[in-house]
Structure 1
Amino acid sequence: MNELDSDVWYVIRTKPKQEERAALNLENQGFEVFAPKLTVKKIRRGVRTSVVEPMFPNYLFVKLDDIIEQFYKIRSTYGVAGVLRFGNNIPKIPQQWVDEMKGVDELTDEQAPKVGDSVEIQQGPFRGFLAKIVQLDGESRCFVMLEWMQKEVKANFSYKELQFK
């Protein structure tokens, strides 16, 4: 790679759920930090809500001039668990990759099911039956209405058991 040392980013491991704390503390020390986030649609108590989450949980990127000189300063920052390394090798992330990631404003999870979606049941005794989602039940389950023995039956399934049409 023909990259200048000033155009190199490093991966920082954070303590669990402390990405924002680590990023703020690193920025307060004068480091340039990149902590990409994405918006995910989640179902909480049967209601679909948008939640902003880290794109890479427990990781963020920091631009450093000299990793050897700043290693201990980074490692002792509140919220930081350490610098990502493989043995004695500390991987470098090129500026171009970070620029491309910054160009992505927000990614959204459009795969979340909605009430009214048609599904095919993939497992169990109702395998192959077509159904329609009538109610969301948490983040991983939903109620569907299917026709069984000439009657409409409401059943609860995991999203893993369904194929969305």
Structure 2
Amino acid sequence: MTMAPDALWYVVQTQVNAEAKAARNLIRQGFEIYLPRYLKRRSHARKIDKVAAPLFPRYMFVQMDIATQRWRSVQSTYGVSNLVQNGSDPAAVAAQVIHALKAREDASGYVTLDQRAKFAIGDKVRVLAGVFAENLGLFDGMADRDRIAILLELLGRKVRVSLEADLVAAA
């Protein structure tokens, strides 16, 4: 569906885990939606796989012309919690934000995220979970695309350990 040139993008907050339901119902009402998703690494039972997940959990974008469309119906759509507003009017999102997100999509339609390290070599880090939980170490670089290497003090010496990047935070 092509929208009028006056149509802007707005933010919709969905109910918990109801992004797909809200998207279906908004499309059924004639609204154009954008639900940016990415491939999230999931670890379960010693198996790591990737699953599609919303880039902004509980949020999506809806395009509408508030002068001509019944935008208040968005508020009562199944799966929608509310329309983010600025006072009594919906809060518009700059078109550049949507274009920038869409520009980062791969051929499958998933937003690609930066895989760069969040730390500099030698930064102090803390392991958040797993076998080495609550241990402090030093960032030692990227082990591969999704894992980082840290130096941990174990048994009186520094040992290089490779961990998933999301298991480590700045200390």
Query: TM-score, with normalisation over the residues of structure 1?
Result: 0.63
Q: Percent identity?
A: 24
Structure 1 stretch displaced more, 102-111 or 77-86: 102-111
Task: Kindly report which structure 2 residues correspond to 1:93-112, keeping only aligned pairs within 5 A, or say none.
Answer: 93-105=93-105, 106-108=111-113, 110=115
Q: Please report how far the alpha carbon of residue 90 of structure 1 lies from its aligned counterpart in structure 2 after TM superposition.
A: 2.8
Q: d(CA) in 1 for partners of 2:26 and 2:69?
A: 15
Query: Do 2:125 and 2:170's aligned partners in 1 also have CA atoms closer than 8 Å?
Result: yes
Higher helix share: 1
Query: Do 1:75 and 1:82's aligned partners in 2 also have CA atoms closer than 8 Å?
Result: yes
Structure 1 stretch displaced more, 26-35 or 41-50: 41-50
Asked which structure has the greater CA Rg, the reply is: 1
Structure 1 unaligned blocks of 5 or more: 112-119, 131-144, 153-157
Q: Please report how far the alpha carbon of residue 69 of structure 1 lies from its aligned counterpart in structure 2 after TM superposition.
A: 4.9
How many correspondences in the alignment? 136
Query: TM-score, with normalisation over the residues of structure 2?
Result: 0.61
Q: d(CA) in 2 for partners of 1:126 and 1:11?
A: 40
1:29 is matched with 29
Q: Secondary structure at the match of 2:85?
A: coil
Task: Kindly report which structure 2 residues correspond to 1:62-141, keeping only aligned pairs within 5 A, or say none.
Answer: 62-66=62-66, 69-105=69-105, 106-108=111-113, 110=115, 122=126
Q: Structure 2: which amino acid aligns with 1:98?
A: I
Q: How large is the RMSD of aligned CA atoms in angstroms?
A: 3.9
1:116 is matched with none
